[in-house]
Amino acid sequence: MGERITLSAWIYLAIGLLTIADAFIAVPSSAALSAALIALFITLQYKNIPRAQQIAGAVLLIIGIAGAAISGQWWEVLVLGTAKSRTFLLLFFAISWLQFPVGLSPALRSTRGAIMNQPGDRRFITLSMGVHVLGSILNVAGLGLLTPVVENQKDPKLQKRLALSLMHGFTSASCWSPFYIGMIVVLTVLPGLRWTQMAPAGAGMAVLLIAVFWLYDRTFLAGNHAPPPQAGEPAATMRSMLRTAGILAVLIALVVTAIQTFGTTVAVALGIVGAPFAMVWLAAIERRPAAQISNTLGFMRRVIALFPTLRNEALVFAAANVFGAGVAAMVPAHDLSATVNALLPWPDAKIAALMLLFPICGLLGMHPVIVVIFLSSVLPPELMGLPEWIVGLIYLCVWGTCTMVSPFSGTALFMARATGTPPQTIAWLWTPPSVFVSIAATALYIIALRHWAL
């Protein structure tokens, strides 16, 4: 592996290591240093960011800077706002290490074969559940493991069904998984919440989302013939399935242990565990000692060299945080909340309106992080008259569904590459009907939970 490690790659590595270090020791001027490193990384990589994301990021930054100018809170908006995004960039840092062993693992390849070789219509629900479980732990690497099922499908109608099954199963994991950026964002903007508090209700919501899409698929999309089994996939054995479960269980146990031992956040725990776990996993796949050392060193070099590819994520999360801080600095939250409460005095109506707002913003091309940070900045739960955990559940649910209808989201772009279909077609034509049905069902679920908790 002869990848060249650029200055941008070293800067991103420094951001990740500084964020981890600052969680344990008081690094002098860590916020200013983190903000400077993030700004430098984005500046160096800006020319390589797609034009649409460049424009969106610039607009958000301009609004944030305007908020700083009007309020005079330059430090809070520009420095602290930018530095706040380092927590989210740390999650991408951690996940980058986990992506490579996934495709090399015989156990995971065998598990993929078991999912892809399901007969008839059973494959669709199995695909949704399989990508949900794998994606909930391995994030986008779990989705990538199963995309061959749509890449190799020649029937466009079947390809659409399979793609939707993957997207709904994958995005529903944002309702509960601590390995998802959605969960990290929600726990950051709503600091009174804990993952253990949100996971049970979120898991129930994820099951509901998968079930609703399965019913939708059977009712409206299942007129097509079932796909044949995927050729060329290794047969699954009980041993390989147990090994897959063991790999995922060990990763979860290590993250939970790090959280409990060090009293740190999920993002920092993943940052600590991700790289060593991936190296040990890779070494276990390659049993020859000499090859283990060579592959591990090459693996480290390759991961670090690819950090600049996280440029889009760095821009959108930094810009969204500056935007949220700037708007919060210049918009009186109490005045805005009074208007919202006057228009929507009923808590259930607020829940429905919030859940409808996100997919609409997604259709307009807005990433959910922008909406979540904006709302949490200007309309915190106490001013909306809703319990914090209810607002957290709303954000967790709509995070995944919003990414399915946004043509600029990572989910839509990933599936566009897998299917050879423009992301606008996927986001604006394929997904909206099932997404809005799912939103309606989960809105009723959250409303029922609110009444049950009264």
Angle at 240 between CA 235 and CA 245, to 5 degrees: 130
Angle at 171 between CA 240 and CA 181, to 5 degrees: 95
Is residue 170 packed enough to be buried (19+ CB in 10 Å), middle (13-18) or exposed (0-12)? buried
Taking the complete model, does pTM exceed 0.85, yes or no? Answer: yes
Q: What is the mean pLDDT of residues 104-125?
A: 81
Confidence of residue 242 (pLDDT cuts 50, 70, 90): confident
CA distances from 157 to 163, 212, 223 (A): 10, 20, 10
Between 293 and 29, where is the model more confident? 29
Helices (H), 72-155: 74, 81-84, 86-104, 106-116, 122-138, 140-146, 148-151
Three-class SS string for 191-258?
A: CCCCHHHHHHHHHHHHHHHHHHHHHHHHHHHCCCCCCCCCCCCCCCCHHHHHHHHHHHHHHHHHHHHH
- State the pLDDT at residue 79: 92
Residue 161 backbone phi and psi in degrees, to 5 = -60, -45
Confidence of residue 135 (pLDDT cuts 50, 70, 90): very high
- List all residues 6 or more positions away from 412 whose beta carbon is below 8 Å from its beta carbon: 403, 404, 405, 406, 423, 426, 427, 431
Can you say whether the dihedral through the CA atoms of 248, 251, 257, 263 is positive or negative?
negative
Angle at 118 between CA 116 and CA 120, to 5 degrees: 115
Highest mean pLDDT among 146-160, 199-213, 325-339, 354-368: 199-213
Residue 135: both structure tokens together: 């994606």
Confidence of residue 1 (pLDDT cuts 50, 70, 90): very low
- State the pLDDT at residue 102: 85
Residue 346: both structure tokens together: 């009923």
Residue 282: both structure tokens together: 């890779």
Taking every pair of Cα atoms in the chain, the longest distance, rounded to a whole number of angstroms, is 70
d(CA 319, CA 325): 10
- Closest listed residue to residue 125, CA positions, set 4, 207, 26: 207
- State the pLDDT at residue 293: 57
* Res 432 pLDDT > 90: yes
* Average model confidence (pLDDT) across the chain: 88
- Count H helices and E strands in the chain, helices first: 25, 0
Q: What is the CA radius of gyration of the chain?
A: 22
